[in-house]
């Protein structure tokens, strides 16, 4: 093996979605030599699929709205394992970050006063839960993610960010001191492998919904950042916490925004009953997503599901009227007609809870610095390594994310990472050294795939992995089932490592990428399985039939999965607020 | 069994492109063209195409489907199959990298040329810039573009002058900023478009409108730009 070509930057962002481009924008604006490595052209990133909006107390719908109420909702929504310091930072900084996006040109929908339009979303309240439903989600019709992603790409073009479009990051280059020095990446068009060296490496690689068979996530959401971090020996946090979105289109998995229920739509069972009134008498269809998803599954299990197989429920929108649907939810009309063959103007949409969001990820502090845990159980910053967006666990979502908070998370913490790295670069951080052996270590997985001479097809193994995760680690979980699931994953591990790549050509070889993505999917899935089996309680999205209660005595904490030992540890939740007393855990009802 | 004919070209192996025929069992279902490609790729992993969101919002999988440009993920077989045959080719007019993957460099270069970002150098207020619902409504039908290139690669003027004619997609975005009440660079933007090629190579044949998977109307936007150019010249 000869040496790889080397490229060098002040900062390298892996991932061209919302958080990555927001971080890159910050750094490019201040003139640092910044590159974005992205496996798809930036506007193809999964942020583009976000529909309903970005939640933030900009006091447009309600001039008396307060970011502190948003903070309260988010902490409650997280089932109290969201870090309160990070949530405070997000909700307080949010308005500034939103106004910046608007100044950049984001085409938000408007109120009569000319301000940004806000709609109600699940889990939102006024006055710390006492003042009824709030409307706090800033929207660009039901295409907010698209509008946001394009605006950020445009901002980066304006500021001359270097884009390595259609490049795939293979693995982290880590030196003898444990510092991250960059990544090895493939230029997909030519197949060339390059060492991309950087003073700061930011993982903004998004989620991994493709570990499940049924997901709202794009094909590209394969947990690449989590996989790379785990292979480098770094831990991940709360990775058992997966959000199942209540309304994925039955059969297709495509997302139907919570904004539908925010605008007045509601769920019905086969008897036409608005069943959420029974499960959440106050918030009804706008309870937390975990609560709504579980209620739907219970309706189906108890024989009140719709359709010939009784395996879904209906989302009713027709009572809202065609004009309103055309102006507020035009994208949903399109999606439903295309994928459900149902016209929401006239008939309900068949929906089912569908894997949507990874609350866990690479643990970071508020500045985006990635963390590991030392022998004494203390947080330790990983030199040169940062994460933001869905790949990170900062943690503002805890055990359950509120709708509209993912876009806010990615903007606020993409920005915060950028600001912090900016400061570090201005103070003069030096480039860490990597030896040839360090670089070659990052090539091991790729070399194995390139040299494979027999084994199974990546697509076949991927389907098997997705079925295991769907069957054993879904909306409801049970210890004995999960143990069986882990055994199946143990059996699958060797086969995944021995995946066979028949086509060894260099030019735009997507089979090679799929073999690499499979490794990342597997690592993410395995960490999920171990962490889910280990957390012996029910909290937020993690609902166990054998441990049905929340156990604050033992589990009011983050789980931390260590890839070396394949075991989980615990990390305390942050309860330090700068502006007030912390919110104490309460029973969570809607 | 459905006959599926796919354009194949791997520069490392093939001297020239060829059409490869596959037999595909639809099991009687009206699935999307992308589902067919995904299943064929399991059979033949060397088949290469782009895809991401699979719901028509990311713009990755623009291809030529039985003669018409469209997104594979939202084109059902019932719209694409003619005489039990499905023909899938790369979008026409741009260089092919491999199989259904084209080099979109020229397309993106035209997009970048129109300065696709808000220009407003007045000091920003502490909150958002206000915009009435009526002013905002002028952006509908413009901002939704997903840069899939179905329109520009269906346009003979773009085939002929890809380095000089902005093309329907780029012009739609040019108008998106011209139409935005918050943007203050109207004169500068028009001056950049004021030459015989950038806008005026559009002959209004509306291929772009016919193929746009988002139902947008670039020809109309181009008409607005023409009017603005003519008005600013008088």
Q: What is the mean pLDDT of residues A334-340?
A: 94
Alpha-carbon separation of residue A450 from A57, A502, A513, B164 (angstroms): 51, 9, 11, 42
Average pLDDT over all residues of chain A = 97
Residues B125 and B219 reside in one and the same domain: yes
Q: Which of B78, B102, B126 corresponds to the end of one domain?
A: B102
Whether residues B33 and B149 fall in one domain: no
Task: Give the nearest chain A residue to B115 (CA atoms).
Answer: A158
Inspect the interface and report whether the beta carbons of B139 and A107 lie closer than 8 Å. yes
% of chain A with per-residue pLDDT over 90: 98
Instruction: Give residue-wise pLDDT tens across range A118-163.
Output: 999 999 999 999 999 999 999 999 999 999 999 999 999 999 999 9
Does residue A45 belong to the interface with chain B, where contact is any CB pair within 8 Å?
Answer: yes
Same domain, B69 and B169: no
User: Does any CB of chain B come closer than 8 Å to the CB of residue A111?
Assistant: yes
pLDDT, residue A2, reads 61
Q: What is the pLDDT of residue B210?
A: 98
Question: How close, in Å, is residue A542 to chain B by CA atoms?
Answer: 26
Helix (H) or strand (E) holding B204: none
Query: Of B30, B41, B48, B52, which to mutate for an interface test with A (greatest number of A Cβ within 10 Å)?
Result: B52
Task: Give the position of tokens 């059996």.
Answer: A491
Q: Which residues of A touch B133 (CB under 8 A)?
A: 109-112, 114
Contacts of A321 (CB under 8 A, 6+ apart): none
The C-alpha atoms of residue B51 and residue B58 are separated, in whole angstroms, by 8
For residue A99, give how far its alpha carbon lies from the nearest alpha carbon of chain B (Å). 5
For residue A327, the tally of other CB atoms under 10 A from its CB is 13
Hey, what's the torsion of the CAs at A489, A493, A498, A502, to 10 degrees? 40
What pLDDT is attached to residue A429?
A: 84
Among chain B residues, the shortest Cα distance to A337 is held by B74
CB contact under 8 A, A155 and B117: yes
Does residue B59 sit in the same domain as residue B122? no
Q: How far apart are CA A263 and CA A328, in angstroms?
A: 8
Tokens of A223: 């947990």
pLDDT of A455: 94
Is A434's pLDDT higher than 60?
yes
Residue A23 C-alpha, separation from nearest chain B C-alpha, in angstroms: 18
| Residue A210 to residue B74: CA distance in whole angstroms | 20
As a whole number, the mean pLDDT across chain B is 97
Residues B124 and B218 in one domain: yes
pLDDT band, residue A376 (cuts 50/70/90): confident
Residue B115 and residue B71 in one domain: no
B229 and B137 part of one domain: yes
A444 and chain B: CB distance < 8 Å anywhere? no
CATH number at residue B87: 3.10.20.30
Give the whole-angstrom CA distance, residue B204 versus residue A261: 42
Interface with B, mutate which of A25, A100, A142, A154 (most B CBs under 10 A) = A154
- Catalytic residues of A, which ones? 289
Look at residue A1 and tell me whether its pLDDT is greater than 60.
Answer: no
The nearest CA of chain B is from the CA of A289 a distance in Å of: 22
| The pLDDT value given to residue B99 | 98
Quick one: pLDDT at residue A183? 98
Structure tokens given for A344: 């929401």
Q: What is the pLDDT of residues A283-313, one digit of tens each?
A: 999 999 999 999 999 999 999 999 999 999 9
Is any Cβ of chain B less than 8 angstroms from the Cβ of A511? Answer: yes
A213 touches chain B (CB under 8 A): no
Both B141 and B215 in one domain: the answer is: yes
Q: Which among A215, A387, A246, A238 has a CA at the least distance from the CA of A312?
A: A246
- Please list every residue in chain B whose beta carbon sits closer than 8 Å to the beta carbon of residue A339: 55
A461 pLDDT above the threshold of 70: yes
Confidence of residue B233 (pLDDT cuts 50, 70, 90): confident
Asked if residue B199 lies in contact with residue B229, where contact means CB atoms within 8 angstroms, the answer is yes
Confidence at A334, pLDDT banded by 50, 70, 90: very high
Task: Render pLDDT for A391-419 as a digit per residue (tens, 0 to 9).
Answer: 999 999 999 999 999 999 999 999 999 99
Average pLDDT over residues B84-111: 98
Confidence at A375, pLDDT banded by 50, 70, 90: confident
Last residue of a domain, one of B84, B102, B120: B102
Give the C-alpha separation, B110 to B105, whole Å: 9
Q: Is residue A520 predicted with pLDDT exceeding 60?
A: yes
Is there a single domain that holds both residue B164 and residue B228? yes
* Co-location of B179 and B98 in the same domain: no
- The residue length of chain A stands at 590
Global pTM value: 0.97
User: Mean pLDDT, to the nearest integer, of A50-55?
Assistant: 96
Q: What is the mean pLDDT of residues A371-388?
A: 94
pLDDT band (50, 70, 90) for residue A374: confident
Q: Where are the alpha helices (DSSP H) in A390-443?
A: 405-427, 436-441
Q: Which domain holds residue B81?
A: 2-102
DSSP states of A475-491: SEE-HHHHHHHHHHHHH
Q: What torsion, rounded to 10 degrees, do the Cα atoms A242, A246, A252, A255 define?
A: -90
Q: How far apart are CA A194 and CA A262, in angstroms?
A: 47
- pLDDT at residue B234 greater than cutoff 80: no
Helix, strand, coil content of chain A in percent (nearest 5): 40, 25, 40
Say whether B43 sits in a helix, a strand or coil.
helix
Query: In this complex, is the C-beta atom of A18 within 8 Å of any C-beta atom belonging to chain B?
Result: no
In sequence order, which ranges of A195-349 are alpha helices (DSSP H)?
224-231, 259-262, 276-279, 289-301, 322-328, 330-335
Identify whether residues B114 and B193 lie together within a single domain.
yes
The arithmetic mean of pLDDT across residues B135-157, rounded, is 98
For chain B, the domain total comes to 2
Kindly provide the b/e burial profile for residues A183-202, where b requires at least 16 CB atoms within 10 angstroms of the residue's own CB: bbbbbbbeeebbbbbbbbbb
Q: What is the pLDDT of residues A340-360, one digit of tens each?
A: 999 999 999 999 999 999 999
Contact (CB<8Å) A110/B182:
no
Inter-chain contacts counted by CB atoms under 8 A, chains A and B: 154
Q: Which of B70, B102, B134 is the last residue of a domain?
A: B102
pLDDT digits (tens, 9 = 90+) for B37-52: 999 999 999 999 999 9
Q: What tens digit of pLDDT does each residue of A173-190 get?
A: 999 999 999 999 999 999
Report the alpha-carbon distance of residue B214 to residue A541 in Å, rounded.
35
CATH of the domain at B172: 1.10.1060.10
Q: Is the domain of B15 the same as that of B86?
A: yes
Taking the C-alpha atoms of residue A415 and residue A397, their distance in angstroms, rounded to an integer, is: 18
Residues of A in contact with B102 (CB under 8 A): none
Looking at the predicted structure, is the pLDDT value of residue A196 above 60? Answer: yes
Strand B85-89 and strand B2-8: the pairing is: parallel
**Two structure tokens written together for A554:** 């033992």
């Amino acid at each position: 093996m000869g040496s790889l070509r080397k490229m060098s930057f002040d900062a390298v962002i892996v991932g061209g979605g919302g958080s990555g481009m927001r971080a890159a924008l910050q750094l490019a604006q201040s003139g640092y030599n910044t590159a974005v490595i992205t496996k798809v052209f930036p506007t193809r990133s999964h942020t583009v699929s976000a529909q309903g909006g970005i939640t933030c107390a900009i006091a447009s719908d309600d001039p008396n709205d307060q970011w502190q109420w948003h903070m309260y909702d988010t902490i409650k929504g997280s089932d109290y394992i969201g870090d309160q310091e990070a949530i405070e930072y997000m909700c307080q900084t949010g308005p500034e970050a939103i106004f910046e996006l608007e100044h950049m040109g984001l085409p938000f929908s408007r109120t009569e006063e000319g301000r940004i339009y806000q709609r109600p979303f699940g889990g939102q309240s006024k006055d710390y839960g006492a003042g009824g439903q709030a409307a706090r989600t800033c929207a660009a019709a039901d295409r907010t993610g698209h509008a946001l992603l394009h605006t950020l790409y445009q901002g980066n073009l304006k500021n001359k960010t270097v884009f390595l479009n259609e490049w795939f990051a293979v693995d982290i280059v880590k030196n003898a001191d444990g510092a991250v020095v960059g990544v090895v990446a493939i230029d997909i068009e030519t197949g060339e492998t390059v060492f991309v060296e950087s003073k700061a490496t930011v993982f903004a690689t998004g989620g991994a919904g493709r570990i499940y068979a049924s997901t709202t996530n794009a094909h590209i959401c394969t947990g690449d950042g989590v996989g790379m971090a785990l292979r480098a020996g770094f831990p991940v946090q709360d990775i058992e916490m997966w959000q199942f979105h209540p309304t994925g289109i039955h059969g297709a998995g495509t997302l139907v925004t919570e904004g539908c229920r925010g605008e007045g739509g509601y769920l019905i069972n086969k008897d036409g009953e608005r069943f959420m009134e029974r499960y959440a008498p106050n918030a009804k269809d706008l309870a937390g997503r975990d609560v709504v998803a579980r209620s739907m599954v219970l309706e189906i299990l108890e024989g009140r599901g719709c359709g010939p197989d009784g395996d879904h429920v209906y989302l009713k929108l027709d009572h809202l009227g065609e004009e309103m649907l055309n102006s507020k939810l035009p994208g949903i009309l399109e999606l439903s007609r295309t994928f459900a063959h149902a016209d929401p103007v006239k008939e309900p949409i068949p929906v089912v809870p569908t894997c949507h969001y990874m609350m866990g990820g690479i643990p970071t502090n508020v500045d985006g610095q990635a963390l590991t845990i030392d022998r004494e159980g203390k947080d330790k910053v990983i030199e040169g390594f940062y994460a933001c967006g869905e790949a990170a666990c900062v943690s503002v979502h805890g055990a359950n994310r509120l709708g509209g908070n993912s876009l806010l998370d990615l903007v606020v913490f993409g920005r915060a990472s950028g600001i912090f790295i900016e400061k570090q670069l201005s103070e003069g951080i030096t480039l860490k050294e990597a030896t040839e052996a360090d670089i070659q270590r990052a090539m091991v997985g790729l070399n194995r795939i390139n040299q494979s001479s027999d084994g199974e097809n990546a697509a076949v193994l991927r389907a098997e992995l997705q079925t295991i995760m769907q069957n054993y680690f879904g909306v409801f979980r049970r210890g004995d089932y999960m143990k069986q699931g882990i055994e199946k994953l143990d059996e699958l591990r060797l086969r995944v490592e021995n995946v066979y790549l028949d086509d060894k050509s260099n030019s735009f070889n997507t089979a090679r990428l799929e073999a690499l993505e499979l490794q990342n999917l597997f690592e993410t899935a395995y960490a999920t399985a171990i962490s889910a089996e280990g957390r012996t309680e029910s909290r937020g999205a993690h609902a166990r039939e054998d441990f049905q209660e929340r156990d604050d005595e033992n589990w009011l904490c983050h789980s931390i999965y260590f890839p070396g030992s394949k075991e989980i540890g615990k990390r305390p939740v942050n309860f330090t607020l700068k502006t007030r007393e912390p919110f104490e855990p309460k029973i969570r009802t809607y | 069994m459905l006959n599926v004919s796919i354009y194949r070209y791997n520069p490392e192996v093939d001297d020239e492109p060829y059409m490869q025929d596959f037999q595909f069992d639809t099991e009687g279902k009206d699935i999307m063209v992308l589902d067919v490609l995904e299943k064929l790729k399991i059979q033949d992993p060397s088949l290469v195409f782009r895809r991401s969101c699979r719901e028509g919002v990311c713009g990755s999988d623009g291809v030529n489907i039985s003669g018409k440009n469209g997104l594979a993920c939202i084109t059902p077989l019932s719209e694409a199959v003619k005489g039990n045959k499905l023909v899938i080719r790369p979008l026409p007019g741009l260089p092919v990298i491999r199989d259904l993957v084209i080099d979109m460099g020229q397309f993106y270069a035209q997009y970048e040329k129109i300065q696709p970002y808000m220009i407003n150098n007045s000091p920003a207020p502490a909150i958002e810039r206000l915009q009435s619902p009526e002013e905002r409504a002028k952006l509908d039908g413009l901002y939704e573009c997903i840069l899939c290139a179905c329109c520009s690669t269906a346009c003979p003027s773009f085939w002929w002058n890809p380095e000089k004619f902005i093309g329907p997609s780029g012009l739609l975005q040019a108008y998106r900023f011209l139409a935005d009440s918050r943007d203050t660079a109207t004169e500068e933007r028009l001056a950049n478009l004021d030459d015989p090629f950038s806008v005026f190579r559009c002959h209004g044949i509306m291929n772009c409108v016919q193929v746009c998977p988002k139902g947008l109307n670039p020809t109309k936007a181009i008409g607005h730009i023409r009017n603005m150019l003519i008005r600013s010249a008088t």
